[in-house]
Amino acid sequence: MIRVNRLFYDDHTFDRGLPAPPVLRKNRTHYWIDPTHHDAAELLSDADYYADAEGFDFEVWDDGRRIVNGAKQTRRALLKAGTPNNPCPDGVGGKWCDHPQCPGEALI
């Protein structure tokens, strides 16, 4: 079970209707989810997109900076835990990984 940012999770699931692992526990600012759930990869993909927030107009996007920060926190938690599509032995995977056995992109 890992802790993810509640604002980003709600934006991902309720505002945009995208799949995500079910909430197992919650408090005022965070949810706890199972990082091995099959929808964790979709949540990671979305967090990855928003964490690299170049070109977003924060003047017109309410809560934009908070959602981007939540995406960064969520991405960090998912990568550390390892998701079903992230078999990296260091929990890195994807475009950040330079392990030859990892299926992700080469280190940028």
- Quickly count: other Cβ atoms within 10 Å of residue 33's Cβ: 26
Q: Domain of 32? A: 2-96
108 is a domain residue:
no
Cα(54)–Cα(65) distance, rounded to whole angstroms? 11
Q: What is the CA radius of gyration of the chain?
A: 14
84 is a domain residue:
yes
- pTM of the predicted model, to two decimals? 0.74
63 is a domain residue:
yes
107 is a domain residue:
no
101 is a domain residue:
no
pLDDT in tens, 23-61: 999 999 999 999 988 899 899 999 988 888 776 776 667
106 is a domain residue:
no
- Does the CA dihedral 23-25-28-30 come out positive or negative? negative
Could you give the number of structural domains in the chain?
1
Cα(28)–Cα(61) distance, rounded to whole angstroms? 22
103 is a domain residue:
no
57 is a domain residue:
yes
Give me the pLDDT at residue 107, please: 35
pLDDT exceeds cutoff 50 at 21: yes
pLDDT exceeds cutoff 50 at 108: no
